[in-house]
Amino acid sequence: MNRKAVSLVLGGAMLISAVSGMNAGAEEAATEGKTYDSVTLTLYSPGNENSVPTKAIVKYGELLEEASNGSITCDVHFGGDLGDDANSIESTRMGTIDVIFAGTSGFTSFYDKAKVLDLPFLFTSAEEANEIVNSEIGEQIFDGLGDYDLVFLSEGDNGMRNISTTGNWKQIKSAEDVEGLKIRVPQSTMYTDVWSALGATPVSLSLAELTTALSNGTVDAQDNATYHEVANATWDDIKYYSYINYMWMGCTMAMNKASYDKLSEDTQQLLKDKAKEAAQYSFDCIAEDNVTAQKTMEDGGVEFCEDPDVDSFKTKLDIPAYYERYKDEAWYDADLIDTIYNYEK
C-alpha cells in the first residue's frame, strides 16, 4: 500500500467505502472460524508520510487485511489528502472517512472528557500511559464518543513532553530553574496553567512560529519530545534538554459509528484488536525515534539531563491536589483521575 496506490482513488474511495459499509452484512467471508464482513474502509492520518501516526495507520490497514484474509480492504490516506486534524475528525464523524488516527487534542474541541489526559504528571512514562489508556480505563475515558458519532478503537502514542532550553538559559535540573523562563507552549489553557504555576512565563504559539521565536529570543525554551524537535526542525537553537516527563500526548484511533454498527461482531472485534496492535506499534516507533533523535541532537551539541529532580516539579505544583483547580469543569472526574494517578504506584 504505497502512497500512489492508496491515493489514486481519492475521488471515489469514500463513496465506495460508504456503499461497502452499508452492504457489509450482505457479503461475508469466514477466516479461522470467524466471519468477517467483506468491506472497504477508508483510513486516514493527517500526518505526513514519515510521521508515526501515518506509519501506524498504514500498519493498521496491513494488519486488518492480513487478519481478515483479504475480506477487509483498506484505502489508506495521509498527509493532508483528506484534511487537517479538525477537518478529518469532522469527516469521520460524518462518515466520509471510516477510521481516523489523529492527535487526541483534536478531539477535545468537542469531547471534553479526553482533557483529563492533558493533566501534568498524570503518567510517569509513555509505557505506563500505554497500559492505562488501552485498558478499561481508556474505554471509560472515551465511552461517550458515541454521542459524537464515533467509536473509540485505541489510543496511540504522540510522545512525552519534556523541556529544552537555548544557550540563553541554563540546564533545567529542578523546578527552581524555570523561574522566569519564557517557554513556548501550545495554544491551550492547561499548558499555560502548568508553567504559570511553576513560575515560568508561558508563551502560546503555533508550532510554525516556534523556530523563529527561539531564534530571536521571544522564548528561550520549548516542551516537546526529542523526536518532535528533530522531525519538526525546532532544535537548531537548543543547547540543553531535560527529561522531566511532565505531560504525555496521545493519538486517538476512532471509527465512524454508523459504519462500525453495520458490521458483524466478529468484524468489530477484529477492528478493535488490530487497533490495539497498531497503537502498540506507534509506542514502539516513538521509543525508537526518541533514541535516534537524542543521538542526532547530541551530535549537534545538545547536552542532556537524564535525571532532573522531577519530584521538585510535582512538589511545587502540589500534585495531585493541583488537579482540583479543574473541579468545576464538566470533564473533571476525581475518581477517574485518582485511578490513573495511583495506577500501580
Looking at the fold, whether 152 and 181 belong to one and the same domain comes out as no
The three three-digit cell numbers of residue 148, written as one number: 459524537
Looking at the fold, whether 280 and 302 belong to one and the same domain comes out as no
Looking at the fold, whether 87 and 198 belong to one and the same domain comes out as no
Query: Which run of H or E residues covers position 155?
Result: strand 150-166
What pLDDT shows up at residue 344? 81
Which of 150, 147, 144, 178 minimizes the C-alpha distance to 164? 178
Looking up residue 227, the CATH number of its domain turns out to be 3.40.190.170
Rounded to the nearest 10 degrees, what angle do helices 265-299 and 126-133 cross at?
A: 170
- Name 47's Cβ contacts closer than 8 Å, sequence gap at least 6: 53, 54, 78, 79
Looking at the fold, whether 130 and 195 belong to one and the same domain comes out as no
User: What b/e string do you get for 197-236 counting C-beta neighbours within 10 Å, with b at 16 or more?
Assistant: bbebbbbebeeeebbebbeeeebbbbbbbbbbbbbeebbe
Number of domains the chain contains:
2
- Name 250's Cβ contacts closer than 8 Å, sequence gap at least 6: 103, 104, 117, 129, 133, 155, 156, 157, 158
pLDDT band at 136 (very low <50, low <70, confident <90, very high): very high
Q: Comparing 18-32, 128-142, 181-195, 246-260, which segment has the lowest mean pLDDT? A: 18-32
Is residue 19 pLDDT above 80, yes or no?
no
Is residue 260 pLDDT above 50, yes or no?
yes
What pLDDT shows up at residue 5? 38
Determine the Cα–Cα distance for residues 341 and 223; give it in Å rounded to an integer: 21
Q: Comparing 20-24, 136-140, 311-315, which segment has the lowest mean pLDDT? A: 20-24
What are 206-239's pLDDT values in tens digits?
A: 999 999 999 999 999 999 999 999 999 999 999 9
What are 103-123's pLDDT values in tens digits?
A: 999 999 999 999 999 999 999
238: containing domain: 161-248+293-341
Which of 322, 273, 285 minimizes the C-alpha distance to 120? 322
> What average pLDDT does this structure show over 145-155?
98
Looking at the fold, whether 203 and 230 belong to one and the same domain comes out as yes
Q: Quick one: CA dihedral 273, 157, 50, 94, positive or negative? A: positive
What pairs with residue 151 in β-bridges?
255
What pLDDT shows up at residue 30? 56
- 198, 317 in Cβ contact below 8 A? yes
Looking at the fold, whether 172 and 106 belong to one and the same domain comes out as no
Looking at the fold, whether 18 and 144 belong to one and the same domain comes out as yes
What are 58-72's pLDDT values in tens digits?
A: 999 999 999 999 999
> What average pLDDT does this structure show over 246-264?
98
Looking at the fold, whether 258 and 306 belong to one and the same domain comes out as no
Query: Which run of H or E residues covers position 340?
Result: helix 334-341
- 303, 239 in Cβ contact below 8 A? yes
Looking at the fold, whether 79 and 93 belong to one and the same domain comes out as yes
> What average pLDDT does this structure show over 83-104?
97
- 179, 242 in Cβ contact below 8 A? no
The three three-digit cell numbers of residue 49, written as one number: 508520510
What pLDDT shows up at residue 33? 77
315: three-class secondary structure by DSSP: helix
Looking at the fold, whether 314 and 230 belong to one and the same domain comes out as yes
What pLDDT shows up at residue 28? 52
Looking at the fold, whether 186 and 235 belong to one and the same domain comes out as yes
The three three-digit cell numbers of residue 298, written as one number: 547530541
Which of 19, 23, 24, 2 minimizes the C-alpha distance to 75? 2
Composition of the chain by helix, strand, coil, percent to 5: 50, 20, 30
> What average pLDDT does this structure show over 154-183?
97
Is residue 97 pLDDT above 60, yes or no?
yes
Is residue 316 pLDDT above 90, yes or no?
yes
Determine the Cα–Cα distance for residues 16 and 269; give it in Å rounded to an integer: 23
pLDDT band at 3 (very low <50, low <70, confident <90, very high): very low
Looking at the fold, whether 81 and 140 belong to one and the same domain comes out as yes
Q: What is the mean pLDDT of the chain?
A: 92
Grid look-up 508515526 returns 52
